[in-house]
């Protein structure tokens, strides 16, 4: 089955222009065309995968290396002192473009990301069993 080409594929292929802020062998970063605030930047791997868990270790490490540097640049350029890093996986988690991407979203007053957080509770025995299942699944 062929995966549908995304807008990010078209940007990577040079079919659609972008306001590029950073590029290396593995990563491209550019301004979001529908920003939540000034400086809202998208960071994408050049590896074309829909979900974070599908990325190779090499692509994931490349993003991890540049994300702090890009966040520093965004806050310096915008004067923001707070920001969010957002990365969604799957439609139910609000992913709209099915190519891994990280948002760097400066928070300035009302502009930026609004987050609802509804914490639950955890049963100690259930948490111990879940932690063991996750640990066993790490490869």
Catalytic residues: 101
Ramachandran bin of 79, using left for φ above 0, alpha for ψ from -120 to 50, beta for the remaining angles: left
Order of strands, edge to edge, in the sheet holding 20-23?
20-23, 27-31, 41-45, 102-107, 82-86
What are the φ/ψ torsions at residue 134 (nearest 5 degrees)?
-65, -45
In this structure, are residues 67 and 41 in contact, taking their beta carbons and an 8 Å threshold?
no
């Amino acid at each position: 089955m062929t995966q549908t080409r995304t807008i990010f594929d078209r940007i990577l292929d040079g079919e659609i222009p972008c306001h590029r802020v950073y590029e290396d062998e593995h990563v491209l970063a550019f301004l979001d065309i529908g920003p939540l605030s000034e400086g809202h930047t998208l960071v994408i791997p050049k590896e074309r995968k829909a979900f974070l868990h599908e990325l190779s270790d090499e692509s994931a490490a490349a993003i991890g290396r540049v994300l702090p540097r890009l966040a520093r640049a965004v806050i310096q350029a915008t004067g923001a002192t707070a920001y969010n890093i957002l990365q969604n996986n799957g439609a139910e988690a609000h992913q709209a473009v099915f190519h891994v991407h990280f948002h760097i979203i400066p928070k300035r007053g009302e502009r930026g990301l609004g987050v609802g957080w509804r914490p639950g509770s955890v049963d100690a025995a259930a948490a111990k069993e879940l932690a063991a299942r996750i640990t066993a699944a790490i490869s």
